[in-house]
Amino acid sequence: MRLSAIDLKAFCECTHALYQQHDLSTFPSHVVNSVGKLISADVVAYNEINARRRRVINLVPEGQTFSSHQIEAFERHIAEHPLIRFAQEDPNHPAMRISDFVTASQFHHTGLYNEFFRSAQLEYQLAFGISSRSGVVIGISASRGRRDFSDREKKLLELVRPHVSRAYQVAEALAALKRENDSLHHLVAHGGRALVQLDSSGRVRELSREATRLLEEYFPPGRRNRLPETLAEWAQEQISVRKSVQTSPLPLICDRPVGQLIARLIYIESGGYFLLLEERSLARQAETLSALGLTHRESQVLALLSHGKTDPEIARELGPTLRTIKKHVEHIFRKLSVETRIAAAIRARDLID
């Protein structure tokens, strides 16, 4: 069957309108409006139906509304609906008419017709499926009371079906991304963790308060909402490595007099990244190392020693003389029963990490 130029113009306008809709919440009303302009019908409806539980999950009609009694009657007789039975077997089924499955006489003898279709003054229906999830079939139906749908109308709906399905998938995907982004926004803003949200190119999208505090404490002042140069270069390098070889990013460890900052890059499915910042302060590490039987000062010295600091560097950071630091190191060796700085550092890292 060949379609006329008018049909093709209506089809193009319908598909164009479909792809302008990106909001899943308004998709049902938008699609029934678009399909209603493509073919003539008394009612065009978006349907979400759980046939197994005999429930109408969502019904968005245009052209006519249905009472609660009519919906209850429809649910009681869902199993009699030939198009719904077909949709259960093939959720993405092509455009089909009720008359493609049963004769008018057979249909008129069903409870579905007598309790629902007749009360709604409807006789004919043409429908197609667009998706299915957790036992719920989703489809678009067109119904009317006089004359059945023609082969031409059936072909028009079959042509538009993949576009409706695709538009639904896009709206559903965007809704999922919005939910993920909203949850990430909440996590960054209120989660209490030191998190930096980056876009796919590594630019900062959002920082938590704790992340802002750590960046200010461990790095020189920089531009607002920009990573410090060292951290930005490392993040870009890790993003490039991940894109090329799909490996897990290596952490960045920054040693400062106040302690140690560890940055880890975490990929998220929506296409961006998180920087998770973890502080290992000197005070906290020293407190942990005191469990080895060390004094507070010895614990501080061991914490710095475990980061590869030399005795002169430890003396500069803590203040005592170099001779005092060497004495502390000797005491540490004796208490830990080790003979080298490496052995002492290993004992410390085992406890700190």
Give the model's confidence band at 295: pLDDT under 50 very low, under 70 low, under 90 confident, else very high: very high
Query: Do 276 and 252 form a contact (C-beta atoms < 8 A)?
Result: no
Looking at the predicted structure, is the pLDDT value of residue 156 above 90?
yes
pTM listed for this prediction:
0.57
Whether 308 maps to a domain, the answer reads yes
Structural domain range at position 210: 191-280
Residue 317 has a pLDDT of 83
Nearest Cα neighbor of 7 from 45, 33, 37 is: 37
Residue 187 has a pLDDT of 61
Residue 32 has a pLDDT of 92
% of the chain residues with pLDDT over 70: 92
Asked whether residue 237 falls in the same domain as residue 336, the answer is no
Asked whether residue 128 falls in the same domain as residue 223, the answer is no
Whether 104 maps to a domain, the answer reads yes
Q: Structurally, how many domains does the chain consist of?
A: 3
Asked whether residue 41 falls in the same domain as residue 132, the answer is yes
**CA dihedral of 233, 234, 237, 243, whole degrees rounded to 10:** -120
Whether 172 maps to a domain, the answer reads yes
Residue 189 has a pLDDT of 59
Residue 37 has a pLDDT of 92
Examine the fold and report which residue of 224, 247, 280 is the final residue of a domain before the chain moves on.
Answer: 280
pLDDT mean over 142-162: 94
Whether 286 maps to a domain, the answer reads no
Asked whether residue 308 falls in the same domain as residue 227, the answer is no
Q: State the sign of the Cα–Cα–Cα–Cα dihedral 119, 92, 126, 159.
A: positive
Most confident of 15-24, 114-123, 255-264: 114-123
Whether 130 maps to a domain, the answer reads yes
Whether 184 maps to a domain, the answer reads no
Asked whether residue 42 falls in the same domain as residue 137, the answer is yes
Whether 287 maps to a domain, the answer reads no
Give the Cα separation of 285 and 280 in Å (integer): 7
Looking at the predicted structure, is the pLDDT value of residue 179 above 60?
yes
Looking at the predicted structure, is the pLDDT value of residue 119 above 80?
yes
Asked whether residue 260 falls in the same domain as residue 146, the answer is no
Examine the fold and report which residue of 249, 280, 311 is the final residue of a domain before the chain moves on.
Answer: 280
pLDDT mean over 304-315: 86
Looking at the predicted structure, is the pLDDT value of residue 313 above 90?
no
Give the model's confidence band at 192: pLDDT under 50 very low, under 70 low, under 90 confident, else very high: low
Q: HEC profile for the chain?
A: CCCCHHHHHHHHHHHHHHCCCCCCCCHHHHHHHHHHCCCCCCEEEEEEEECCCCEEEEEEEECCCCCHHHHHHHHHCHHHCHHHHHHHHCCCCCCEEHHHCCCHHHHHCCHHHHHHHCCCCCCEEEEEEEEEECCEEEEEEEEECCCCCCHHHHHHHHHHHHHHHHHHHHHHHHHHHHHHHHHHHHHHHHCCCCEEEECCCCCEEEECHHHHHHHHHHCCCCCCCCCCHHHHHHHHHHHHHHHHHCCCCCCEEEEECCEEEEEEEEECCCCCEEEEEEEEEHHHHHHHHHHHCCCHHHHHHHHHHHCCCCHHHHHHHHCCCHHHHHHHHHHHHHHHCCCCHHHHHHHHHHHHC
CATH of the domain at 98: 3.30.450.40
* Summary mean pLDDT of the chain: 86
CATH of the domain at 310: 1.10.10.10
Asked whether residue 203 falls in the same domain as residue 169, the answer is no
Asked whether residue 164 falls in the same domain as residue 30, the answer is yes
Q: What is the pLDDT of residues 102-113, one digit of tens each?
A: 999 999 999 999
Residue 258 has a pLDDT of 67
Asked whether residue 272 falls in the same domain as residue 311, the answer is no
Least confident of 13-22, 131-140, 248-257, 323-332: 248-257
Asked whether residue 267 falls in the same domain as residue 309, the answer is no
Examine the fold and report which residue of 179, 209, 244 is the final residue of a domain before the chain moves on.
Answer: 179
Asked whether residue 144 falls in the same domain as residue 213, the answer is no
CATH of the domain at 218: 3.30.450.20
Asked whether residue 220 falls in the same domain as residue 83, the answer is no
Whether 234 maps to a domain, the answer reads yes
Q: What is the pLDDT of residues 198-231, one digit of tens each?
A: 877 778 888 888 888 888 888 888 777 788 888 8
Least confident of 8-17, 250-259, 305-314: 250-259
